[in-house]
Amino acid sequence: MSNNPLLQTDEVAKTLGVSDSKPRRRRWWLVILPVLLVGLLLFPLLGAKPQPLHYVTEPVERGNLVVTVSATGTLEPLKKVEVGIEVSGTIKSVDVDYNATVKVGQVMAELDTTRLEAQAQQNEAALQAAQARVLQAQASVQEAEAQLIRLNRVHDLSDGRVPSQNELDTAKANVARYKADEASAKASVAQAQAALDVVRTDITKAVIKSPINGVVLERSVEPGQTVAAQFQSPTLFTLAEDLTQMELQVDVDEADVGQVKEGQVATFTVDAYPDVSFPASITQVRYGSQTVEGVVTYKAVLKVDNSSLALRPGMTATAVITVNQRENVLLVPNAALRFAPRTVSGSGQAPGRGLVGMLLPRPPNMNGSEPEEPDTKSREQRVWTVRDGQLVPLSFTKGLSDGLHTEVVSGQVESGLELVTDEMSAPR
């Protein structure tokens, strides 16, 4: 028997009748055929040519540029007064309603003053009693002074023998004591008078009168309602002095507040009249800031003419403030400032990599052909135009911008020049 393991394996296979000489040849064809098919499919793509690029352009135009700042806020009356009450009690009557026009001194509501009037009568009685005590004290003073005078006269006639010095000292002390009682009684009169004046003042304050000429915006009281003015004065009415002149208080973002100044004009809209723009002008830009959800804003006040009374307090308005404007200037579309070509070689073709190139990783950029992010914050800007099918860079100094167009201060840009805003592969 042979010692070769391969021969032994073949003999065993032949003995068992499972020889694989022919299947091995078939397996080689199963591997070769797919490779040939893939090669036939990839061969046309290996030398794929770059696709030509199509450029989207917009012209440089001459026109007017208006720079605006947007802000939202609330309409408020120029003067709004909250009318309260200083005394407690039950509302007897309410004489005005919502939207009522009131004048200075007009009665708007009254309290039930029964308790206050009773207290006033009680204080009047206390005042009269205090005044009677003053008269009594004055009589005592007169009596004590007369007794002292009599004792002094007797002392002089008797050459100091009578009365005794002790009796004279007692008479002097009585005069002083009765004078003190008179002063105390007079103080009690002043105290009782003050208490009476307080009650009388409360009675007058029980009648709520309008402090201004205006319109009733809110009424928070009804007849029969009890009001308590113990710790703070409850608000019964809210009045607006003149609704024909209002103010719009808007919140200006900290990034825009440097451009907003007094005297600038603005327009605003409200949800009630979405198709109507109302004029306004800035009267104040406040220095105090407020932070809401991490956003820092500053309050700007705009004067609003509301002669038609179409606007109402509390309406939310969106204002557009004109902060700067230019007339008859060159305008470059902002899309041209954001454009950066995929290749700066000027070939006008997109780089073709074929299927193999798309499957393999991109090699490191060694020639700077990748697009650079344009710096739109610099005053010196570069834009692109197409000449003879090739991209040509142009430089200019920019001025103001309204978000859609940018002013050309100086540079190589001229009116009517077509600037590239985007590039795309041309359809086959």
**Which residue among 300, 324, 348 closes a domain?**
324
Per-residue pLDDT at 25: 53
- Same domain, residue pair 295 and 356: no
Residue 421 has pLDDT above 80, yes or no: yes
Phi and psi for 170 in degrees, rounded to 5?
Answer: -65, -40
- Same domain, residue pair 175 and 94: yes
Other CB atoms within 10 Å distance of the CB of residue 79: 13
- Same domain, residue pair 387 and 306: no
Which CATH number characterizes residue 306's domain?
A: 2.40.30.170
Question: What's the structural domain count of the chain?
Answer: 3
**Which residue among 289, 324, 359 closes a domain?**
324
- Same domain, residue pair 58 and 126: no
- For residue 302, count CB atoms less than 10 angstroms from its CB and return exposed for 0-12, middle for 13-18, buried for 19 or more: buried
- Same domain, residue pair 90 and 207: yes
304 is written with which tokens?
């609003």
H/E run at residue 150: helix 114-157
> Which residue carries 């030398």 as its tokens?
47
| DSSP structure string for 341-397 | -S--S---BPPP-HHHHHHSPPPP--S--SPPPP-SSSSEEEEEEEETTEEEEEEEE
> Is 29 within a domain?
no
pLDDT in tens, 74-89: 999 999 999 999 899 9
Per-residue pLDDT at 242: 87
- Same domain, residue pair 384 and 362: yes
Domain span at residue 196 reads 85-219
Find the mean pLDDT for residues 89-114. 94
Residues 6+ apart with CB under 8 A from 382: 374, 393, 394, 395
5-14, 33-42, 171-180, 336-345: the lowest-pLDDT one = 5-14
Find the mean pLDDT for residues 12-22. 51
Which CATH number characterizes residue 415's domain?
A: 2.40.420.20
**Which residue among 155, 184, 219 closes a domain?**
219
Residues 6+ apart with CB under 8 A from 179: 141
Find the mean pLDDT for residues 340-358. 53
- Same domain, residue pair 160 and 255: no
> Is 47 within a domain?
no
**Residue 239 — very low, low, confident or very high, per pLDDT cuts 50/70/90?**
very high
- Same domain, residue pair 107 and 210: yes
Per-residue pLDDT at 7: 46
